[in-house]
């Protein structure tokens, strides 16, 4: 199976996927750590794909999304963005709306606490 096929299958089979450096329990870069931390804190169930474990996936996800950096967040098969975009969406409340619209469970109180801490 090609890297593109693996990526397509992963984002199809999982509601929320984070392509990241490291894992959700052990991120290996600050940007991946930030996005995984947001999702973990908000109680979002997500699949993590460690791009450091497979060079073809690492390059393949950049080609797939036409986005040059890692991490990359997908919700219901759609590319959401990287660290800066996910951070901005969390603070603005757009991430809450995206998750709610797609029927993804999360802790609204935790999301509110993130916004309060960044106000």
The full set of domain ranges for the chain reads 3-117
Read off the pLDDT band of 1 (50, 70, 90): confident
Backbone φ, ψ for residue 54 (5° rounding): -150, 110
- Nearest of 63, 76, 60 to residue 2 by alpha carbon: 60
In three-state secondary structure terms, 28 is coil
Q: What is the pLDDT of residues 52-108, one digit of tens each?
A: 999 999 999 999 999 999 999 999 999 999 999 999 999 999 999 999 999 999 999
Read off the pLDDT band of 44 (50, 70, 90): very high
Of all helices (H) and strands (E), which one includes residue 10? helix 3-13
The sheet that has 47-50: what strands, in order across it?
47-50, 16-20, 72-75, 78-81
CATH class label, 3-117: alpha beta
Is 83 known to sit in a ligand binding site?
Answer: no
CA pair distance 89, 96, nearest whole angstrom: 8
Mean pLDDT, the chain, whole residue set: 96
pTM higher than 0.75: yes
């Amino acid at each position: 199976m090609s890297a593109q096929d693996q990526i397509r299958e992963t984002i199809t089979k999982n509601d929320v996927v984070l392509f990241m450096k490291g894992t959700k329990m052990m991120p290996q870069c600050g940007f991946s750590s930030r996005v995984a931390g947001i999702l973990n804190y908000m109680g979002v169930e997500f699949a993590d794909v460690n791009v450091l474990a497979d060079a073809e996936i690492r390059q393949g996800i950049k080609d797939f999304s036409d986005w040059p950096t890692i991490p990359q967040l997908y919700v219901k098969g759609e590319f959401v963005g990287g660290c800066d975009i996910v951070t901005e969406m969390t603070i603005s409340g757009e991430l809450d709306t995206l998750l709610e619209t797609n029927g993804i469970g999360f802790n609204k109180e935790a999301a509110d606490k993130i916004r309060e801490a960044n106000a």
